[in-house]
Structure formats: C-alpha cells, structure tokens
Amino acid sequence: MKAIIPAAGIGTRLLPQTYTVPKPLLYVAGKPIIGHILDDLEKIGIDEIGLIVGDKGGKITDYVNSNYSFRLDYVYQEERCGLGHAIYLYLSEKGYRDEPLMIVLSDTIFNADLTKIKNSDYTTIGVHKVDTPKRYGIVELEHGFIKSLVEKPAAPKSNLAIVGVYFIKNVSLLFKSLQYIIQNDVKTKGEYQLTDALQLMVDNGEEIAVFDVDGWHDCGTPETLLQTNRYLLDSISNVPIISGSIIIPPVYISNSAIIDNSIIGPYVSIASSAKVTKSIVEDSIINENSFISNGLIRNSIIGYNAVFDGQFSVLNVGDSSQIAFVK
C-alpha cells in the first residue's frame, strides 16, 4: 500500500529554523519529524511513499532514501494552493491504482493503532476532540459516519478535529472530487481544501468513518515542537552515562554528540555531531553539528551548524548562526 505525504509547506511559523531546512526535517526526540511518521508507516507494512515537496524537497527525498527502504516517488508543488491541490497534483502526475491509499500530513506526530485504519472497510479519517474547534477542520457525525466536514468553521457543529491521517478506500472518487473543486475554483479560506473534496465524496454516497487519535501532536510552531519533544522523550527509558557530566532523564543524546562538563536535561534532544561544553541545557532541541559553550539554555531550539557561546538565554537560533556574549 502507498502513503502520500504532503511536505511542500514553507513552515513560516517555525522561522528561522526553516530558512534552510524543510519543516519535516526538523529534529524532535532524536530524529526528524518525518522520521517518526515513516517509522509508524513502516510498522504497518506500507511499502510505497509518495512525497509532495517544495524548494528544499531534495533534502527530504535524500533523507528517506538514506534511512528507509520504501519505494519512493515525488512531485514538485511549485505553487502552494492548499492540501486539496497538493493531493490532486500528485494523483494527476503519478496516476493512481484502483486500491486504497493513505494520506499522512508531514508536520503531525500521532499515537494511534494505524493497523485498524489500514484494515478498515470504509474510507476512514483520524479525529481528535479539541477545545477550540474553530481552528481546525471539523467533522459532524450521523449514525457513526461523517455527515459533514468543514474547514475552520465559524460555528462548529462538533469538536471532532481532523488530525491529518486519512485512509482512502475509493481513490477514484477522491480524484474526481478534487478535480471538480479545482476545475470549478471551489476554495475555502483561499485554498483548495481536502475537506471540501471529502464532503463531495460524502454527497456522492461515500460512507466515511472516523477513528479516535488519542495522542496528537502538532509540530507547527516552536512551542508545539518543544511540547512534542517532551511527549516523545517520555517514552525513552535509556539514560546515557557520560563521564564528567550529569544527565537528567528523559533525554535523547546521539552517540556521535559530545557532552563535556555539562548538565543535560530533562527533556533535551541532542542530534548527531553536536557538542555541548560547560553548559546547562534543559527542555531544548539541539540540532546537528551545533556547538554550545558556557550556556544556560532552557525552552530553546538551536538550528543546524549553529554556535552559541554565552550566558542564560531562551533561544530560537536558526541554522549556521553564531551568537557570543563577550564580557
């Protein structure tokens, strides 16, 4: 079975981290966001991945090819016109078979039994109860199936938010529905929405079921990225022992990272080839090849190849940056 992963978004809410790195490759709890998603798909037997990528898409395809054995293809989305447009673009360029497929968003980490959705007799989408339904795509149920889907409704009829995991049983009808909204310029919030195409499927007789996703973690802002890091690290029981330093779990520290005379944790993720010396780091993400010295860092994200030499700070430092406090 194939899974399509739309990954062309710019990630403006995560700047400066996304100036040089696409959002799906931002590290959280020891690996890129998309790595956690691909691990889950691999476990349930997905063997094909279709990526929809943007300007930095080569970095994503390189990561997937270097770390996984999926059969991989991709399309380039030059103009971002919404999730519905992205899926339509992929299906138009690559075609589709008369068999089910999955669609999984690239900036959401979830805790759910995907085997259930993969084996469903119906088109099925993941949902989660939220306190602020106006911010999300919302579904209304009737007799156990979806009656309506609305993107960010002004007057929500339920609090069941669409979380970004879709199992499409009738791919042909999905394509025809996407084709209709694009050819007839049907937009919601200025974009071609997948929710509108799903509503057309319902209107044409498709029974769409839902499944509850208990753990749903958006990685779209620095705050939610750090929250997701904390959630994932809570499942790591291994505590590395590093001579001359104190490690307070839960943490993830790459085997190739260097930790010298420092206090690390709790809730810290340190990627490969990073170096932390004479510092205290708590509740933070340190990306590849970064160097931290003489710092007391908390609630911070340090980008790839960044250098920080200084004092107590809360930081959101982009890739290849350098910050030094000189007395």
- CA–CA separation, 139 and 128 (whole Å): 10
Give the pLDDT score at 247.
96
From the first residue on, what is the mean pLDDT of each consecutive set of 10 residues in the chain (327 residues)?
A: 91 82 90 93 93 91 94 90 94 90 89 82 91 88 90 88 92 96 92 93 94 82 92 89 95 96 96 95 94 91 87 62 56
Give the pLDDT score at 325.
56
Give the pLDDT score at 319.
63
DSSP conformation letters of 204-237: TT--EEEEE-SEEEE-SSHHHHHHHHHHHHTT--
- CA–CA separation, 252 and 254 (whole Å): 7
- CA–CA separation, 249 and 233 (whole Å): 9
Residue 303 CB neighbours (<10 A): 26
Q: Which domains, from first to last, does the chain contain?
A: 2-228 (3.90.550.10), 239-324 (2.160.10.10)
Give the pLDDT score at 115.
83
Give the pLDDT score at 185.
94
